[in-house]
Amino acid sequence: MKHVLDRPVWSALETRHRAFAQGGDLARRYSPSIALFAATAADDSASLQALGDLVGPDESIIMAQADTIALPPGLAAISTADAVQMIAEAPSQTVSDERIQPLTREDAAEMLALASLTKPGPFTSGALSLGAFWGVKVEGRLVAMAGERMKQPGYTELSGVCAHPEFRGTGLGRLLSVFVANQIFARGEIPYLHAFATNAGAIRLYESIGFSLRTPINVAVVQRAA
Question: pLDDT tens, 97-146?
Answer: 999 999 999 999 999 999 999 998 888 888 999 999 999 999 999 999 99
Q: Which domain holds residue 101?
A: 86-214
Cβ neighbours, 10 Å, residue 73: 11
> What is the average pLDDT value for the chain, to the nearest integer?
95
What CATH number should be reported for the domain holding residue 22? 3.40.630.30
Asked if residues 152 and 168 have their Cβ atoms less than 8 Å apart, the reply is no
Q: Looking at the structure, do residues 102 and 43 belong to the same domain, yes or no?
A: no
The verdict on 99 and 206 lying in the same domain is yes
Residue 3 in domain = no
DSSP 8-state code for residue 11: H
- If asked whether residues 63 and 173 sit together in one domain, one would say no
Residue 2 placed within a domain? no
User: What is the bridge-based pairing of β-strands 133-138 and 141-152?
Assistant: antiparallel
Same domain for 104 and 28: no
Is the Cβ–Cβ distance between 100 and 176 less than 8 Å?
yes
Count of domains observed in the chain: 2
Tens of pLDDT along 43-84? Answer: 999 999 999 999 999 899 999 999 999 999 999 999 999 999
Instruction: Please tell me the distance from the alpha carbon of residue 115 to that of residue 87, in angstroms, as a whole number.
Output: 23
Determine the Cα–Cα distance for residues 148 and 91; give it in Å rounded to an integer: 16
